[in-house]
Amino acid sequence: MDPFMKAAYKEALTGLEEGGVPIGSVLVHKGRIIGRGRNRRIQQGSPILHGEMDAYTAAGRLPASVYRECVLYTTLSPCMMCTGATLLFKVPKVVIGEEVNFVGGSDLLREHGVEVTVLDEPELIAMMRKFIEENPTLWNEDIAE
């Protein structure tokens, strides 16, 4: 697995151990991880703390010029909120671990010129499928269904 996606996966696994939704993300600037995050909606009781949002938070306040050189790695297709944040920050590249279990805003990202790569990693697909099967209510809450 790509090393940055592996780092996002590791965040997802930490989330799972904490009793959270196993989605992890890392923000990469010039080959270096500057923000790591995982979905902590359950852990922090926050509806906005998806993995991507947590990674953006961890990276802190950045100049626009830094965002423009970043790549966001996330284990699952980003929902509309995380898609919107990525468009706000104008991050030009997003690498998605899988979008078999959920398809978020990847088309909207592409429409705005973001380069989107979907890896569909078997390990990530299996992890998320198992979580959704075992926790349908928690998962549905995550996507407000």
Question: Binder to its own copies among 67, 70, 74, 127 (CB under 8 A)?
Answer: 67
Candidate segments 14-22, 61-69, 92-100, 116-124, binder of its own copies by CB under 8 A: 61-69
Candidate segments 9-17, 45-53, 119-127, 128-136, binder of its own copies by CB under 8 A: 45-53
Residue 43: what residue type? Answer: Q
**Three-point CA angle 64, 68, 72, nearest 5°:** 115
Site size toward its own copies, by CB under 8 A? 32
Q: Would you say 27 and 59 are in contact if contact means Cβ atoms under 8 Å apart? A: yes
Residues 90-129 that bind its own copies (CB under 8 A): 90, 105
Residues making up the chain, counted from first to last? 145
- List the one residue out of 134, 100, 131, 94 whose CA is nearest residue 115: 94
Candidate segments 50-58, 95-103, 115-123, 127-135, binder of its own copies by CB under 8 A: 50-58
The reply to whether 36 sits near its own copies by the rule CB under 8 A is no
The reply to whether 23 sits near its own copies by the rule CB under 8 A is no
Give strand ranges (E) for the chain: 24-29, 32-38, 70-76, 93-98, 115-118
The reply to whether 19 sits near its own copies by the rule CB under 8 A is no
Is 98 labeled as catalytic in the residue annotation? no
**Three-point CA angle 134, 102, 6, nearest 5°:** 85
Cα 86 to Cα 80: distance, rounded to the nearest angstrom: 10
**Positions that interact with its own copies (CB under 8 A):** 41, 45-48, 53, 56-57, 59-64, 67, 79-85, 87-90, 105, 140-141, 143-145
